[in-house]
Amino acid sequence: MSIKVAVAGASGYAGAEIIRLLLMHPRFASGELEIGALTGASTAGESVAALMPHLVGVADRVIEPTTADTLAGHDVVFLGLPHGHSAAIAAQLGESVLVIDCAADFRLKNSQDWEDFYGTAHAGTWPYGIPEMPGQREALAGSTRVAVPGCFPTGATLAMLPAVAASLVKPELTFVSITGVSGGGKKASVGLLGSETMGSLKAYNTAGAHRHNPEITQNLQAFSDEEITVSFTPVLAPLPRGILTTASAPLAPGVTAAQARETYCEFYQDEYFVHVLAPGIQPHTQNIVGTNMCHLQVEVDERAGRLLVTTAIDNLCKGTAGAAVQCMNIALGWDETAGLPINGVAP
């Protein structure tokens, strides 16, 4: 018996990446996973061959309308919809259906945070999809509802989680994340035009305005007895995909560089998708494109008395679609790593 999977928002960047990963999944090759409906809104009726020619394995398919009727009859439904649209669709799907939401609708626990940053009523909270966070694998196993994390919170959380959990730092956290333009989605936008982004860098949604602020705070606050503060600045860069995050915080008294490195290596020693780089080697976004990896470097700035952690992830893979497939694997009791690349392409 095969598991039938639908992808809503299939023609968007996240949806297309989910399809790419499903086509590489060993259970698709064995016939145990079937790719069912591929749906969209403005692209309904158009062919996959025309919209996404890189997905040769489903080139003969046509994008269907995103409706509950179209998605009915599937065992797994990935929702790659705009924020605020997932709840209505999910409510029409049976409790036995594994629904994996790539939007923000069910990530936040605090309803006021949702209303402040998204401006609508809070739909609720689902098990959260960063398996590397302690306790999350247990929450995801067997679940039929999953909230995939944001791309910025993934890189930021993995950067500071060991330090916060081990009290290596004072809880005054600063993050700067440089991101490729695909993070803005596959939509017409003047600010994402090539002529606006090539040869230029731009900070945006600064001074606590970005919607991922409460998500980063929520993730890390769960592992600290002290109230943490988060200063997060995203920067748009002229590259298609990838996020480079630098995270820093004041060191707690007596913490050494050797202690910091040992803490990170021990915390992530059993994590297949987090690679702590050797001393002196910095994460490069080009090394993680198309992979479900997080490359990480941890250092101590002794003169400033600060911990510095740098992470690189692919915003469309580990930051979205890869996390979604990783969570699907866990929820279904499959090998967590199945279908997820770890090796990049160079040059």
Tokens of 102: 């790539």
- Other C-beta atoms lying within 10 Å of the C-beta of residue 217: 21
CA 288 to CA 239: how far, in whole Å? 13
Distance from the Cα of residue 84 to its chain's centroid: 17
Tokens of 172: 């005054």
Contact between residue 41 and residue 51 where contact means Cβ atoms under 8 Å apart: no
* Residue 78 three-state SS: strand
Find the catalytic residue in 102, 151, 294, 317.
151
Please identify which residue in the block is written with the tokens 């004072």: 170
From its phi and psi, is residue 176 left (phi > 0), alpha (psi between -120 and 50) or beta? Answer: beta
From its phi and psi, is residue 188 left (phi > 0), alpha (psi between -120 and 50) or beta? Answer: beta
> Would you call 151 a catalytic residue per the annotation?
yes
* Residue 294 three-state SS: strand
* CA atoms 30, 33, 36, 42: torsion sign: negative
Sequence-ordered list of residues with C-beta below 8 angstroms from that of 189, at least 6 positions apart, any chain: none
CA 210, 147, 4: angle at the middle one, nearest 5? Answer: 135
Radius of gyration, alpha carbons of the chain: 20
Tokens of 181: 């333009």
What is the number of residues in the chain? 347
**Closest CA relative to residue 245, chosen from 294, 192, 185:** 294
- Other C-beta atoms lying within 10 Å of the C-beta of residue 94: 10
What φ, ψ does residue 118 adopt, rounded to 5°? -120, -20
Catalytic residue set? 151
